[in-house]
Amino acid sequence: MDILLSHGSVLVLIAAAVGFFMAWGIGANDVANAMGTSVGSKALTIKQAIIIAMVFEFAGAYLAGGEVTSTIRKGIIDASYFVDTPELLVFGMISALFAAATWLLIASILGWPVSTTHSIVGAIIGFAAFGVSPDTVAWGKVLGIVGSWIVTPLISGVIAFLIFNSAQKLIFDTDHPLKQAKRYVPFYMMLAGFVLALVTIKKGLKHVGLDIGATEGYIYAIAVSVIVALIGKFFIGRLKFDEKASKNDHYANVEKVFAVLMVVTACCMAFAHGSNDVANAIGPLAAVVGIVDNGGEIVKKTPLAWWILPLGGFGIVAGLAIFGHRVIATIGKGITHLTPSRGFAAELAAACTVVIASGTGLPISTTQTLVGAVLGVGMARGIAAINMGVVRNIVVSWVITLPVGAGLSIFFFTIMKAVFA
């Protein structure tokens, strides 16, 4: 307790620095999820993708990142164990941030898309189980997370497979692909508008204090989807294509239509991602600031200090700009060859899965959802279309994320205790 009073401001400074490092890691590793498919399918250049992601991620993090981040992520550990020793919780949260951020840095350098959520979860489990007692950890929650490794990529893979195959049958494998595209693409736009409006309402806006009920949310989403479809129909109708051109030119033109769709889906995914995942960096930081401000008292909900959200937002943007291109290359080019229609199927499937998961309360990792979706699109073209070596590396990096996060966190926790105690 005395440590918090004597070194409180130092601890907050350390936590802020490490929180920024963590947000930086999220930017470098996770933002590629929203942008990787757009870049891989050549709908956007790396530069354009980074600029779009900067704007929408920051908007998501700042506008919708949460007035109050539940200080202890998703109830993984029981705070009541720390009532007599709040400084241990402070050390632990700082170590967890540092551990998760270090792992994200390593993974980003290697170009592995790992889950930021699972990195921080692993790190929090590590210091709590080792530093305090294994009873502090809600092991049931941990099992749920491990289960989601199999479930979320599977759901999104299946959805992507279906979306891609429907586009093949309705548009590409017909005599007049362009005519069919003009007819059916507005429906895909409608679906995309619906799902992305739901993602934004469910994941994004609930943090702004706009608490929209379930039925209202669906009504808004349907309204958005109809407007999107009408706008889409108007613009696609105005596109001038040479009807006599060869079939390959037709395919190229259809892909152009999908490229526009890709960019829209990428923006919405970036917004949803910013609002959702900035909590991984901010949550532990808010916990530290809250405990220090309250003189060692552990409060369930702490109002966020004004500087915390922008810190997270800028961190994400910085990481993306400096290192984002490596993971973007893995998702966009490494797993399977993407075109705009394939990329669109993958993005939309990932967005659908995020909606399904947040509706059912599954702990979800955007990374695994998107990798699953890209795999689903690859499978639609046959197993040979998938680069299995890359997939193997990705899966291995997922499995070791929890233990690596936990191990690093124990290491930093021991150092923090030695330095301050």
d(CA 181, CA 250): 10
The yes-or-no verdict on residue 130 having pLDDT over 90 is no
The predicted model gives 125-151 an average pLDDT of 81
For the beta carbon of residue 237, count every other beta carbon within 10 angstroms. 9
Q: What is the pLDDT of residues 364-412, one digit of tens each?
A: 777 788 888 888 888 877 777 777 877 888 888 888 888 899 999 999 9
Q: Which residue has the tokens 């600029």?
A: 51
**Are residues 278 and 311 in contact, defined by beta-carbon separation less than 8 angstroms?**
no
Helix, strand, coil abundance in the chain, percent, nearest 5: 80, 0, 15
Task: Specify the pLDDT at position 199.
Answer: 67
Task: Specify the pLDDT at position 411.
Answer: 93
| 63-60-112 Cα angle (round to 5) | 150
Task: Specify the pLDDT at position 180.
Answer: 78
pTM, rounded to two decimals: 0.79
Specify which residues 77 forms β-bridges with. Answer: 137
Task: Specify the pLDDT at position 336.
Answer: 74
Residues 6+ apart with CB under 8 A from 335: 371, 374, 375, 378, 386, 387, 390, 391, 394
Task: Specify the pLDDT at position 150.
Answer: 81
d(CA 276, CA 280): 8
- Confidence tier at 244 by pLDDT (50, 70, 90): low
- Confidence tier at 68 by pLDDT (50, 70, 90): very low
